[in-house]
Amino acid sequence: MPPTLAVWKFASCDGCQLTLLDCEDELLTLAEEVKIAVFAEASSEMVGGPYDVSLVEGSITTKHDEQRIREIRGQSRVLVSIGACATAGGVQALRNFADVAEFASVVYAKPEYIDTLATSTPASAHVTVDYQLPGCPIDRGQLLDTLAALLIGRKPRVPAKTVCTECKNRGVTCVLVADGIPCLGPVTHAGCGALCPAHHRGCYGCFGPAATPNTAALIPVLRRDGMSEDGMERLFSTFNVTAFTAERNDR
Amino acid sequence: MTTDTSTRTRTLSVGTLTRVEGEGALHVVMKDGLLESVELNIYEPPRFFEAFLRGRSYTEPPDLTARVCGICPVAYQVSACNAIEDACGVEVDPALVELRRLLYCGEWIHSHVLHIYLLHAPDFLGYPDAFALAQSERAVVERGLALKKAGNRLMEFIGGRAIHPINVRLGGFYSVPSGADMKAHTEELRRALDDALATVAWVGGFDFPDLEVDHEMLALTQPGRYAIENGTVARSVGPSFAVADFTDHVVESQLPHSTALHATLDGGRYITGPPARFTLNSSALSPIARQAASEAGLTGECRNPFRSIVVRAVEVVYAIEEALRIMDSYEPPPRPFVEVPARPGVGHGVSEAPRGLLYHRYRIDEDGSVAAATIIPPTSQNQGAIEADLAGAVSGNLSMDDAELTTLCEKIIRTYDPCISCSAHFLKLSVNRR
């Protein structure tokens, strides 16, 4: 029997599970190597658990989903959370720093119909997670490497180095040093391949914080390059707002 | 609940509507053999974009709203840019608008091919998914994946990555490609055109259930070409109106059974998306795309939702041709972006997402922060029409058993390629026969 793979969605944009369908060269091979047991976006066939590997996309924002993630954990030998929503709560976790009832009243005429928790939290806040792929969205190469690793029984490689490291490896001129463009590369988790600096844009942190991000050293440089205090707070408050808030060492 | 013993109550549940982006529920109530109500339930766990956009810098909505949808992030980025540039009174250089259109062509190719091959075609061929289809027709699925990849590579080339591109900014791009790079990618894309034409012929041969719908149609239009990255509003029945008047005509309201907001056009039901675009703009298609459409049995208008798969395939042909046209005449623009200084005021932006018209409106404050944001995605505009089509299908097929009826309803929903993740979460189908 081939190993079974299940793909689950919580509050999200679908982009991280789409990354699996974006593996155009590998998708059919993968479908031969594993039994895709649950993947509602791609298949009408749904096979019951247990599952060898579950990929979890999206954040937990309802009572029902709090229950569902526990059930999925119980059915899964290995659980991998994929993307900023599943690993950090996503951009929808901006509500964690606001009044969710006020938020609901802005979007909906009848907020009383809306069933939501006051917080958006990662899977790891509810259950044990075996591996996490960061990114908004995740990187296709990291997803494939992780699936291949789990198939052959080695550990996935998701090194917690920085975007800076990838940028140097790629030979991109440093936008922060050479052009004074505010860049979160020194404190952001690798995985994208230094996409933004390669396009003459500062990193905006969509892979979340690297291990022990030294924001205390970076912030004076951002300030030097003309960023306002508000602007800096906003830069850290996007797709990985909860993770940066928890990991910053500047306050 | 009725206590009349002569009435019949049957409930049927399907866990999750599959092969759509996101999840939701459908509730059908029948009483004494007649249809009582149809509700398409969209249970998005709300993500509150319009709320958290308030107070953000006016430069941020393109990146933030891209995250509404991983399937059509460029649509969100472009409608947001159009709206904010409108608010700030900035005209973007024509060459940069062409590059935006080129990136958008990549999204149309990728999104449409995803829907055609991986989500929709299995319905016509009797498979649960494209993986099963590949077991008997591997070459066909491989053709689809190669075509989808061509769209993704184009998005990566212009946008940096296919999902949530990083190279889009107000006023244009962070960087623009060199002429040599553009030429190299042109050759790659040219090979995709044959696959796209083969796709039109393939889906044109599917067996389409008879269904004609009379919804009003709404789509953008541009002089001389098919509208993609911007345009003026056109409609099939009522008079056209300016983009700035959009919310005078399109009004969103909230129903108890859905967390998506339902939109109406001057109080009536309407559709946006491929059939509406084709019906209102088919004369603006390129000759090759128009001929492919005609050979696949599409002429002038498309009122059978099941044939939307053919329109998508035709639009893929058009998007590839249009991309090649832009690439062939490309000269690197003198600047990658136009400065967009903040200006207080209101701006409106539209573009044609793969699923239909996507409207953004922003009010910018004196300090350059977003004071208010409104987003009207295609799926909430189509929701009323989807429900009406489902009601028609259920009423017309009461003799079907629950399983057949459920399958039919799911197929109808899928013809709209609803992006429920733009607004939805859990679709549970239940038929109540009383």
**Three-state DSSP string of chain A:** CCCEEEEEECECCCHHHHHHHCCCCCHHHHHHHCEEEEECCCECCCCCCCEEEEEEECEECCHHHHHHHHHHHHHEEEEEEEHHHHHHCCHHHHHHHCCHHHHHHHHCCCHHHCCCCCCCECHHHCCCCCEEECCCCCCHHHHHHHHHHHHHCCCCCCCCCEHHHHHHHHCCCCHHHHHCCCCCHHHEECCCCCHHHHCCCCCCCCCCECCCCCHHHHHHHHHHCCCCHHHHHHHHCCCCHHHHHHHCCCC
Is A15 close to B129, i.e. CB distance below 8 A?
no
Burial of B177-208, coded b for 16+ CB within 10 Å and e otherwise, reads: beeeebeebeeebeebbebbbbbbebbbebeb
| pLDDT exceeds cutoff 90 at B238 | no
Confidence of residue B197 (pLDDT cuts 50, 70, 90): very high
For the entire predicted model, the pTM comes to: 0.95
CA B8 to chain CA centroid, nearest Å: 39
Is A43 close to B254, i.e. CB distance below 8 A?
no
3-class secondary structure, B235: strand
| pLDDT exceeds cutoff 60 at B425 | no
Task: Quote the minimal CA–CA distance from A236 to chain B in Å.
Answer: 12
- pLDDT tens, A182-191? 999 999 999 9
Please, are residues B52 and A103 in contact by the beta-carbon 8 Å criterion?
A: yes
Identify which has the larger pLDDT, B35 or B152. B152
What pLDDT was estimated at residue B383? 85
For residue B143, what is the nearest residue in chain A, using CA coordinates?
A24
Confidence of residue B11 (pLDDT cuts 50, 70, 90): very low
CA-CA distance, B212 to A97, in Å (whole number)? 49
Q: Is ipTM > 0.85 here?
A: yes
Is A195 close to B160, i.e. CB distance below 8 A?
yes
For residue B157, what is the nearest residue in chain A, using CA coordinates?
A199
Q: Which token pair is B56?
A: 């953000």
For residue B374, what is the nearest residue in chain A, using CA coordinates?
A107
The DSSP line for B377-416 is -HHHHHHHHHHHHHHHHHHHTTTS-HHHHHHHHHHHHHHT
Exposed/middle/buried for residue B359 (C-beta within 10 Å: 0-12, 13-18, 19+): buried
CA-CA distance, A80 to A89, in Å (whole number)? 15
For residue A204, what is the nearest residue in chain B, using CA coordinates?
B166
Which positions of chain A have pLDDT values less than 50?
none
Chain A positions touching B63 (Cβ under 8 A) are 204, 238
Is A195 close to B166, i.e. CB distance below 8 A?
yes
What pLDDT was estimated at residue B38? 77
What pLDDT was estimated at residue B261? 67
Task: Quote the minimal CA–CA distance from B294 to chain A in Å.
Answer: 30
- pLDDT tens, B362-390? 999 999 999 999 999 998 889 889 888 98
Peptide bond before residue A50 is cis, with ω within 30 degrees of 0: yes
Is A116 close to B253, i.e. CB distance below 8 A?
no
Q: What is the average pLDDT across B196-206?
A: 98
**Beta-strand pair A51-57/A76-82:** parallel
What pLDDT was estimated at residue B26? 74
Identify which has the larger pLDDT, A89 or B10. A89
- Phi first, then psi: give them for residue B24, nearest 5 degrees: -160, -170
| pLDDT exceeds cutoff 90 at B409 | no
What pLDDT was estimated at residue B3? 31
Is B52 close to A94, i.e. CB distance below 8 A?
yes
Which of A17, A29, A43 to mutate: most B Cβ within 10 Å?
Answer: A43
Task: Quote the minimal CA–CA distance from B112 to chain A in Å.
Answer: 13
- pLDDT tens, B66-84? 999 999 999 999 999 999 9
